[in-house]
Chain A
Amino acid sequence: MRDRIIFAGQLAFTLLVTAFLVVPAVLSMMAGVTANYFRGIRSGVTLDWVWQVWGLYADTIGRSFLIALSALVVCLVVGVPAAYGLYRSGGRLSRAVEEIITLPLAIPGLAIALALLLAYGGFSDFRRSWLFILAGHVVFTMPFMVRSVIAVLAAIDVKTLDESASSLGASPWRRFRDVIVPNARPGILAGSLMVVTLSLGEFNLTWMLHTPLTKTLPVGLADSYASMRLEVASAYTLVFFIMIIPLLVAMQLYAGQSAAARRRR
């Protein structure tokens, strides 16, 4: 009996906390499909706001995906070999490099953006293009890729795998392609999902770096909050949720799978 009371108490508390966190999000998304928010849901349900958002901000959504996927490509092409190199060489220097790569996590996005503006703002073509934002996103997301890959490399004793492939005659490139990358795949995948998710949701940096012609989804969101009807802004939130949630779910599923695979081993 006492146990059941404790259990019920715990359950109630958990539900309360969950509700506290979830209700605002649900309210916001509901506002996005309400005909008139101030009159409440009784005023009717509509998708008009969602269509309006699509009409006004479709380009920001497209751009966000373009930037996220480009950031992913850069992180894969640069980050994975960098992680391998850092892990292989070891030593104090590579630890220092790892720390430097990780630094952007601790520095406010605004400061990074300011630094980028100071350094490269003068190249006006670059400054005006979406590539400028991409540069910021790569700086911000790279540590997640590098760290995630290094963690996997350390877990599978990649140094000995590399040595055994070399003893069988494989050149450094063949080793990287046949042995390192396939075995680092869990880390590469986890890192990739992080990069895409973080890039899609990034606001601080992007807000400083964007121009009226290079808005991304979160910047558009801020824009709509500031200048549109509440319903439009809420519909925008809804659109953002719909796009980001599958990625988050994929991330969780994948994390679960690789944990299970590790247990099997």
Chain B
Amino acid sequence: MKAEHGVAVRAENCGKTFADGTRALEPVNLDIARGETVVLLGPSGCGKTTMLRIIAGLEQPDPGGRVLFNDADVTRVPIEQRNVGMVFQSYALFPNMSVADNIGYGLKIRSIGKAEREARVAELVELTGIEGLERRRIDQLSGGQRQRVALARAVAVRPSVLLLDEPLTALDAALRERLRGELDRLLRTLGITTIYVTHDQAEAMVLGDRIVVMSKGAIAQIGRPRDIYFAPASRFVAEFIGAANIVEGDYAGGRLKLAGGTLPLANGAAAGPVSAMIRPESIRIIAAEGAGLSGRVDSVSFVGDRQRLMVSGAAATAILVDVPNSLTVNAGDRVGLAVEPGAIRVLASGK
């Protein structure tokens, strides 16, 4: 299938207050390039689905908000004329139609001839790997098959933008991981502008060209997965993405002073109290003697591919450390902790 790029999407000043007065979304701005995959990530109730529904045309933004597709204002255009493809969390497949009829429904609405429709449906059936199921009824499909049909149906109409609302959440963990890989490959093949809503940070990391982290109806940070992970803009982002140690200490003379010693800090903040993030995997265990920072191992959890230690006494709260599964370390040991200065991220104060 040839690459389809869709449109650039721009949301300007889009807020949403529901009829009962609940503020679901603070006015936000979002720019999505043509062909880009953007993931809206956040805990439930953060406004990510509302944002998606505004872009889809299922919700109107509060007055003053605008949605643009390729610089054309579509704020007042109803969803059925926006040429979007949408995958719902529950898939919302039509129980009264076969798999093939579901996939072809958008084409039928567009008055595309039977022959062309069938060819296109066959193409999508192959692309999503659901050969042999075309004549099945929806209630005869498994969850993973339904997900594929929903995706095929959404992209069949060659949408300007593909919108996915937690498309993998309804599946069990193993299947979710497999489909995540498939979905990634498919989105790269299609190259359509895609907006993907999820609360699962692993999904966001794998699928997103950029991630929009949302919290309480506002955008907390926008960036590439690596930026979000290594350089979170706030404590919320740091803690929401992966495991994070947040330490509070005084910064003076190039070192951060903690309860159990000091750590060298590269990016010189102003002297005074500082809160910083350290990822568990960027901490190394060294001998306690002569270490800048040391503490006592409280517990060792063997996870298989690694071990996770809880070390107390080094900072005000216990610090999580991920170490290789070959290292021998026991609860009660005194250990030294070493961190590359670049791996310590000073967080903006206030939060």
Q: Interface residues, chain A, CB within 8 Å of chain B?
A: 156-157, 160-161, 163-171, 174, 178-179, 182-183, 185, 264-265
If A178-B94, A265-B139 are given as contacts, then 8 extra A-B residue pairs at C-beta distance below 8 Å, sorted by A number, are: A160-B90, A163-B79, A165-B94, A166-B58, A166-B78, A168-B105, A168-B106, A169-B83
A179 adjacent to B84 (CB under 8 Å) = no
Q: Which residues of A contact B95 (CB under 8 A)?
A: 156, 183
Between-chain CB contacts (< 8 Å), 22 pairs: A156-B95, A160-B88, A163-B86, A164-B88, A164-B93, A164-B94, A166-B80, A167-B58, A167-B79, A167-B84, A167-B85, A167-B86, A167-B163, A168-B153, A168-B154, A169-B106, A169-B109, A170-B109, A178-B105, A179-B94, A179-B96, A182-B94
The 4 A-B pairs at the shortest CB distance, nearest first, are namely A168-B106, A164-B92, A182-B96, A167-B86
B268 CB to closest chain A CB (Å) equals 51
Q: Interface residues, chain B, CB within 8 Å of chain A?
A: 56, 58, 78-81, 83-86, 88, 90, 92-96, 105-106, 109-110, 139, 153-154, 157, 163
B109 adjacent to A174 (CB under 8 Å) = yes
B86 adjacent to A161 (CB under 8 Å) = no
Residue of A nearest to B140 (CB): A264
Interface centre among A157, A165, A183 (most CB of B within 10 A): A165
Q: Which residues of A contact B81 (CB under 8 A)?
A: 169
Complex formed: what's the CA distance from A166 to B109 in Å? 10
Q: Which residues of B contact A182 (CB under 8 A)?
A: 94, 96
Q: Which residues of A contact B153 (CB under 8 A)?
A: 168
Residue of A nearest to B56 (CB): A167
B127 CB to closest chain A CB (Å) equals 18
Give the A-B contact count at a CB cut-off of 8 A: 64
A183 adjacent to B79 (CB under 8 Å) = no
Q: Which residues of B contact A169 (CB under 8 A)?
A: 80-81, 83, 106, 109-110, 157
Which one of B58, B78, B96, B109 contacts A168 once the chains associate, using CB atoms below 8 Å? Answer: B109
A189 CB to closest chain B CB (Å) equals 14
Q: Which residues of A contact B96 (CB under 8 A)?
A: 179, 182-183, 185
A53 CB to closest chain B CB (Å) equals 44
B146 CB to closest chain A CB (Å) equals 12
Residue of A nearest to B108 (CB): A178
Residue of A nearest to B138 (CB): A265
Q: Which residues of A contact B139 (CB under 8 A)?
A: 264-265
Complex formed: what's the CA distance from A265 to B110 in Å? 31
Q: Which residues of A contact B85 (CB under 8 A)?
A: 167
B50 CB to closest chain A CB (Å) equals 14
Residue of B nearest to A91 (CB): B19
Q: Which residues of B contact A174 (CB under 8 A)?
A: 109
Q: Which residues of A contact B157 (CB under 8 A)?
A: 168-169
Complex formed: what's the CA distance from A98 to B1 in Å? 50
Complex formed: what's the CA distance from A174 to B157 in Å? 17
Residue of B nearest to A185 (CB): B96
Residue of A nearest to B89 (CB): A160
Complex formed: what's the CA distance from A164 to B81 in Å? 13
**Contacts A156-B95, A170-B109, A183-B96; is A164 near B80 (CB within 8 Å)?**
no
A43 CB to closest chain B CB (Å) equals 58
Q: Which residues of A contact B78 (CB under 8 A)?
A: 166
Complex formed: what's the CA distance from A178 to B109 in Å? 10
Complex formed: what's the CA distance from A166 to B154 in Å? 11
B105 adjacent to A163 (CB under 8 Å) = no
Complex formed: what's the CA distance from A171 to B92 in Å? 17
Q: Which residues of A contact B154 (CB under 8 A)?
A: 167-168
Which one of B80, B83, B88, B90 contacts A170 once the chains associate, using CB atoms below 8 Å? Answer: B80
Which one of A156, A157, A171, A183 contacts B80 once the chains associate, using CB atoms below 8 Å? Answer: A171
A162 CB to closest chain B CB (Å) equals 9
Q: Which residues of B contact A264 (CB under 8 A)?
A: 139
B92 adjacent to A163 (CB under 8 Å) = yes
A202 CB to closest chain B CB (Å) equals 33
Complex formed: what's the CA distance from A167 to B56 in Å? 8
Q: Which residues of B contact A164 (CB under 8 A)?
A: 86, 88, 92-94
Residue of A nearest to B92 (CB): A164
Q: Which residues of B contact A179 (CB under 8 A)?
A: 94, 96
Interface centre among A161, A164, A166 (most CB of B within 10 A): A164
A157 adjacent to B92 (CB under 8 Å) = yes
Residue of B nearest to A171 (CB): B80
Q: Which residues of A contact B88 (CB under 8 A)?
A: 160, 163-164
Residue of A nearest to B106 (CB): A168
Q: Which residues of B contact A167 (CB under 8 A)?
A: 56, 58, 79-80, 84-86, 154, 163
B108 CB to closest chain A CB (Å) equals 9
B94 adjacent to A183 (CB under 8 Å) = yes
A79 CB to closest chain B CB (Å) equals 20
Q: Which residues of B contact A166 (CB under 8 A)?
A: 58, 78-80
Complex formed: what's the CA distance from A161 to B94 in Å? 7
B219 CB to closest chain A CB (Å) equals 24
